């Protein structure tokens, strides 16, 4: 069923909502995920979806002005797909007001979606169903999917009624409705107690760390495990093999000694870097970390670790710069010179339009300490090479 056409009055109301609310909406970016967040409390806390932050402890916020700042994940609710983020200092953005009562059937709502690197989008829909149970969650439905993950849903006066785009438990879809018509939201009044708990000075929240709980039995879980120790259910941070390629799925399913040893190598490497492998895993054979710059901690670079399908090669990849539109012959000649002068395992290559620094080492020959040192050298050399390529060739940095 197609959504009803947007009336002129709803368009005017939507414009008013954007004018008064847009300053409070931010983009959220983690290693391999992202979504929309919004300032929910006067202390600067940002509410978003747990899907937006993944299982990262540190994320990245993009403000309406274009400024980027780091943020620390303070609280998560895996079952309801929610997270709170604490910026290192007040963002200078006003919190959105919330409306404690539930929306009315047929009431128009507006979704404000702001993804990193994209302009603010406004969607409009009508409330199609109320107080619908999804497990222990009471949700409401919209007549069209209109928002990104974690987007605030506001009424005509700019007050938040709910959060949209959430990955609620299976069964959230309306009976008989195809997936593309699913538009389920969580009412904001279900979060009043949680928000009240965190409504205190930000300096009193600095020691707070999130507890991840199994969506099936609500018992806390550790990232080191793929299944809940209490109920045995597969945990949501574990990579789903059904989404992997046939070759990768076969390699993991067989759990060959070579592949298992390669995974142990990566887990130990990441542990030495202060990361838990399952929390930064983005695929059956891939892990990604956001590495801050030495001069600007808010400037993050996505560095990738991977192993091949057989577990015989460990690869690291650091994006340097985009190939510049001008002086490309001189640029490529300089890359060849850098490769000729480099020593060790690091090499520069061009993938699509991005110059990257990488290594590929046989897992059987790399000791665990050596792997961590190799990764650290990749990061140090990557930042050095990026500076050597960016300004002289006017090549945009790749992150």
Q: What are phi and psi of 204, to 5 degrees?
A: -90, 0
Q: Following DSSP, what letter does each residue of 307-371 receive, concatenated? A: E-TTS-EEEEEEEEEEPPSS-HHHHHHHHHHHHHH--TT-EEEEETTEEEEEEEEETTT--HHHH
Cα 323 to Cα 337: distance, rounded to the nearest angstrom: 16
Using one digit for the tens of pLDDT, what is the confidence trace for 283-338?
788 898 888 877 666 677 889 999 998 889 999 999 998 988 888 888 888 888 88
Q: Which of 258, 245, 272 is nearest to 362 (CA)?
A: 258
Q: Residue 175: is its pLDDT beyond 60?
A: no
Q: Residue 56: is its pLDDT beyond 70?
A: yes
pLDDT value for 83: 95
The three-point CA angle 333-336-338 to 5° equals 110
Q: Following DSSP, what letter does each residue of 69-129 receive, concatenated? A: EEEEEEEEETTTTEEEEE-SS--S-PPPPB--SPPPTT-EEEEEE--TTS--EEEEEEEEE
Q: What are phi and psi of 146, to 5 degrees?
A: -130, 5
149 contacts 156 by C-beta, under 8 angstroms: no
Q: What are phi and psi of 5, to 5 degrees?
A: -60, 145
pLDDT value for 338: 83
Q: Tokens 């490497």, residue?
A: 269
pLDDT value for 107: 92
pLDDT value for 255: 58
Instruction: Kindly indicate the confidence band of residue 65, based on its pLDDT and cuts at 50, 70 and 90.
Output: confident
Helix (H) or strand (E) holding 230: none
Mean per-residue pLDDT over the chain, rounded: 82
Q: What is the DSSP letter of 294?
A: S
**Please, which residues have CB within 8 angstroms of residue 40's CB and are 6 or more apart in sequence?**
46, 47, 84, 95, 96, 98, 160, 195
Q: Which of 157-171, 232-246, 354-368 has the lowest mean pLDDT?
A: 232-246
The stretch 182-211 carries a mean pLDDT of 88
Share of the chain above pLDDT 70, in %: 86
Q: Between these two residues, 47 and 132, which has the higher pLDDT value?
A: 47
Which tokens hold the place of 168? Answer: 């609620």
pLDDT value for 169: 62
Q: Which of 167, 182, 157 is nearest to 107 (CA)?
A: 157
Q: Residue 244: is its pLDDT beyond 60?
A: no
Is 59 strand, coil or helix?
Answer: strand
Q: Which of 222-226, 230-234, 247-251, 391-395 has the lowest mean pLDDT?
A: 247-251
78 contacts 169 by C-beta, under 8 angstroms: no
Give CA separation, 74 vs 45, 212, 368, in Å.
9, 11, 32
Using CA atoms in the order 294, 297, 302, 304, what is the torsion angle rounded to 10 degrees?
50
Which tokens hold the place of 158? Answer: 């700019």
Q: Which of 10-14, 162-166, 337-341 has the lowest mean pLDDT?
A: 10-14
The stretch 183-199 carries a mean pLDDT of 90
Cα 383 to Cα 255: distance, rounded to the nearest angstrom: 36
Domains of the chain: 1-207 (2.40.10.120), 241-393 (3.30.1460.10)
Q: Between these two residues, 73 and 58, which has the higher pLDDT value?
A: 73
Q: Which of 250, 278, 274 is nearest to 263 (CA)?
A: 278
């Amino acid at each position: 069923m197609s959504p009803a056409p947007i009336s002129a009055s709803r368009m005017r109301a939507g414009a008013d909502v954007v004018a008064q609310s847009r300053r409070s909406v931010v983009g959220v970016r983690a290693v391999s995920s992202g979504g929309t967040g919004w300032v929910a409390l006067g202390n600067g806390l940002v509410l978003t979806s747990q899907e937006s932050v993944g299982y990262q402890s540190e994320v990245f916020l993009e403000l309406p002005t274009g400024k980027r700042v780091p943020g620390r994940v303070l609280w998560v609710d895996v079952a309801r797909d929610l997270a709170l983020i604490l910026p290192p200092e007040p963002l200078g953005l006003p919190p959105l007001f919330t409306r404690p009562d539930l929306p009315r059937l047929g009431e128009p709502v507006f979704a404000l979606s702001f993804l990193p690197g994209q302009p603010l989008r406004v969607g409009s829909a009508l409330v199609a169903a109320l107080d619908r149970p999804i497990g222990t969650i009471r949700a409401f439905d919209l007549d069209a999917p209109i928002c990104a993950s974690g987007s605030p849903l506001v009424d005509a006066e700019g007050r938040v009624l709910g959060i949209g785009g959430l990955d609620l438990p299976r069964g959230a879809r309306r009976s008989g409705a195809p997936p593309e018509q699913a538009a389920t939201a969580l009412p904001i009044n279900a979060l009043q107690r949680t928000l009240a708990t965190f409504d205190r000075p930000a300096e009193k929240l600095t020691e707070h760390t999130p507890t991840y709980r199994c969506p099936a039995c609500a018992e806390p879980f550790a990232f080191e495990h793929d299944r809940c120790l209490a109920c045995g259910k597969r945990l949501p941070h574990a990579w789903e093999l059904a989404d992997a390629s046939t070759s990768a799925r076969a390699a993991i399913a067989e759990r060959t000694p070579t592949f298992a040893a390669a995974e142990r190598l990566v887990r130990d490497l990441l542990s030495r870097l202060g990361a838990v492998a399952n929390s930064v895993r983005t695929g059956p054979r891939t892990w990604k970390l956001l590495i801050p710059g030495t001069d600007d901690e808010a400037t993050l670079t996505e560095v990738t670790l991977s192993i091949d399908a057989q577990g015989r090669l460990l690869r690291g990849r650091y994006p340097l710069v985009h190939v510049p539109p001008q002086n490309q012959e001189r640029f490529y000649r300089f890359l060849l010179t850098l490769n000729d002068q480099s020593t060790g395992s690091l090499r520069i290559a061009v993938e699509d339009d991005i110059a990257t620094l990488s290594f590929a080492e046989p897992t059987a020959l790399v000791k665990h300490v050596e792997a961590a040192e190799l990764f650290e050298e990749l990061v140090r050399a990557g930042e050095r090479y990026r500076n050597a390529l960016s300004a002289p060739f006017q090549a945009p940095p790749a992150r």
